[in-house]
Structure 1
Amino acid sequence: MKYLSNEQIPDFFSSLQATHEVRLPIMLPDGTRCLGHPGDGTVALFGGALPAKPTAAFFPHEGPVFVAASEGFTEPSAPEKPLLVVGFTSRDLACLRFIDRFFAEGWRDDIYFRNRQGALVVGVSGYCGPGGASLALADGDCDFELVWDRTRWLVVSHTGAGSAIVEGLAETVSDGTLERLRKEMAVYEDENEKAIRRASELIRADRVPDTFWSEIGDRCIACTGCNLACPTCTCFGVQDWRYAGRVKRSRMWDSCQLDGFMREASGHNPLGTEGLRTRRRIHHKLAADPDRWGEISCFVCGRCDAVCPTGIGIFAVARELIERFGNI
């Protein structure tokens, strides 16, 4: 097993730019973090999950479908270099595993896999969470993992492609540090996970009345922050842009909290109230997806609760739902 000092991290990822399109957490001037390129800012692996969903590297907010013009019709080609995306926590990796399944099911989504195919994913774990808090080890679901043990980054390969990337690192670790960290950071179900699972049980048992969703919906201002932040939200719309004699078709993230999300051409809207749309947002993650995929599609990353200005992220709604209907 290899390791890197914190000072070596920027040069290590910069060296990979010759063969990969590298995206990694960087610090912005306002003190927040986002995915960027080496050289865009200071590398910022500490701090836990990024505020924005890292799955956007493969399913971007706006992605081209084709361009039509008088001289012909063109579709985007695959990236010249495969993506190498750094910064996924263990929960983020579970989200990525889920949307990989989603976009591969039935009609395989070529647009998604144009970016995803051949990409390398790098997890981040260890004592690098907010304020030095621990992040659970990934132990898979990524090509290699950076584990901060408070003094250095242990580099743990999980695939052959990951091993090939890090094989040039000369340093090795064989002192049992990784095994100790794995025991220290054993994953236990936290209170939010328990709340999500209990809320799922109540919704699937039809214990939650429509009046509850109307009350929650009255608090929604349709800012769409919950959907824009959620790594497992996959809804999109299609938009045509006309300019300079060309038409560019793009697909763009959509939100089930918007009035026009399911409105039909006739004007009929099966989700015509904010209560119905809010119910759909929660029901989709906690009931419909378990029925279809065999697992809840909320992986407890906490982003929707962090961004919701009115306090109706999925954790908050689950706790209120349990308090009111858990003993009926």
Structure 2
Amino acid sequence: MKRLTETEIQSFLESLDSRYDVWAPVRLHDGTRSLGRLADGPLALAGGTLPQKPTHMFFPQMDVILSLQGKMIESPPPLEKPLLVVGFTAEDLDCLAFIDRFYGENFRDTAYFSKRENAVIVAITGRCGKDGRTLKVSAGNCDMELMCDGQRYVLIAHSSAGMALANGVRGDNETPPGQTQDLASLRKAIEAESGTNGGQDRLMLEKASKLLLEDKVPEEFWEQVANRCIACTSCNLVCPTCTCFDVFDRKNDDRDERWRMWDSCQLDGFMREASGHNPMGKEATRTRRRIHHKLGADPRRWGQITCMLCGRCDDACPTGIGIKSVCREMVEQYGAS
């Protein structure tokens, strides 16, 4: 198996620049670790979950979905090069799989798939998380996985595209016999190191979902949580499985454009009607919807809880009401059994 240092991976990614629009975790000039192009800063693979959701590469915060020039309707031009995105965690990959379903079933969202199709997804797993944590291994739902053994990154191909990339890696980077764990034992060790907390959180989420589906959480609970919400919308902006957007038209000198932009169910105007009626006019109602959508409505519609425990909303929320925190309170108060 091939093992590369971060410096070797940087050289490898740079060699792909002529064929792909390469994005990866980089360290910006102010010290921030962010998803960016290689020219934006040095590679920063270690550190765990990125602050922003990587699904924004295919569903940007603002995006032109069509333009009108005279009587001609035009779709946005295709990408010059397919995207190659490094930095997905195992949880992010689960989020991406759901977003693919959301935008692909019943109605195929061409704006999304114009970026998503032919994209190469590279996950980062293993002993390279924040504060020494171990990141979960992937379920193989990516093109390539960079699994850190604590010193180097093992290249694991999960698709034909990933195999083609791995075969193109140059240099003496094969693992010498006896110098490291084989892939199966490394994977088993990493699964053991990363599994405990994630399993507990998943169980808590399932208990909270059951409470919601059985309608055992009273209105008073949502009022208590809503009293701590400042409607900053951080929870929605960082969530990889939030899909709500608004649409607006912009008139330019030579053409009109239709844009879509992320929206937030935490905002008072999210469902306000032209008549002035607002079915979600109370903060408590909006707070309940945010949690119930992931844990109640989506299991009924999609057959799965759509919080994948990436942890971004809990990290971003300034008042401590991310989904894990709220579910913990919910289970403690109403789910003793």
TM-score normalized with structure 1 length = 0.96
Q: 2:174 aligns with which of 168, 172, 175?
A: 172
CA distance in 2, matches of 1:37, 1:263: 39
Deviations 1:70-95 (A, max 9, x none): 37432102212111000001011011
Asked whether the equivalents of residues 25 and 35 of structure 2 are also in contact (C-alpha less than 8 Å), the reply is yes
Asked whether the equivalents of residues 3 and 169 of structure 1 are also in contact (C-alpha less than 8 Å), the reply is no
CA distance in 2, matches of 1:43, 1:144: 17
Asked whether the equivalents of residues 139 and 158 of structure 1 are also in contact (C-alpha less than 8 Å), the reply is no
CA distance in 1, matches of 2:139, 2:224: 41
After TM superposition, give the deviation of residue 29 of structure 1 in Å. 2.1
Deviations 1:162-204 (A, max 9, x none): 1011212243346543222211122344332222111111111
1:250 equivalent in alignment to 2:286: no
* 1:230 corresponding residue in structure 2: 239
CA distance in 2, matches of 1:239, 1:43: 37
After TM superposition, give the deviation of residue 215 of structure 1 in Å. 1.8
After TM superposition, give the deviation of residue 277 of structure 1 in Å. 0.5
- RMSD over aligned Cα, in angstroms? 1.5
After TM superposition, give the deviation of residue 318 of structure 1 in Å. 0.5
1:185 equivalent in alignment to 2:185: no
Q: 1:197 aligns with which of 199, 206, 218?
A: 206
The size of the alignment, in residue pairs, is: 328
Asked whether the equivalents of residues 3 and 155 of structure 2 are also in contact (C-alpha less than 8 Å), the reply is yes
Residue identity (%):
50
Matches within 5 A, 1:1-328: 1-70=1-70, 72-170=72-170, 171-173=173-175, 176-186=181-191, 187-188=195-196, 189-327=198-336
After TM superposition, give the deviation of residue 255 of structure 1 in Å. 0.3
CA distance in 2, matches of 1:177, 1:78: 42
Asked whether the equivalents of residues 83 and 115 of structure 2 are also in contact (C-alpha less than 8 Å), the reply is yes
After TM superposition, give the deviation of residue 149 of structure 1 in Å. 1.0
Deviations 1:248-307 (A, max 9, x none): 211110000011111111111111111110100000000111111111000011100111
CA distance in 2, matches of 1:152, 1:219: 43
Segments of structure 2 that go 5 or more residues without pairing to the other structure are: none
Asked whether the equivalents of residues 66 and 248 of structure 1 are also in contact (C-alpha less than 8 Å), the reply is yes
CA distance in 1, matches of 2:120, 2:87: 12
Asked whether the equivalents of residues 62 and 259 of structure 2 are also in contact (C-alpha less than 8 Å), the reply is yes
CA distance in 1, matches of 2:228, 2:315: 16
CA distance in 2, matches of 1:227, 1:22: 26
CA distance in 2, matches of 1:223, 1:5: 39
Deviates more, 1:179-188 or 1:16-25: 179-188
Deviations 1:98-121 (A, max 9, x none): 111111110111111000001110
After TM superposition, give the deviation of residue 245 of structure 1 in Å. 4.2
Structure 1 residue matching 2:38: 3-state secondary structure? coil
Asked whether the equivalents of residues 143 and 162 of structure 2 are also in contact (C-alpha less than 8 Å), the reply is yes
Segments of structure 1 that go 5 or more residues without pairing to the other structure are: none
Deviates more, 1:124-133 or 1:44-53: 124-133
TM-score normalized with structure 2 length = 0.93
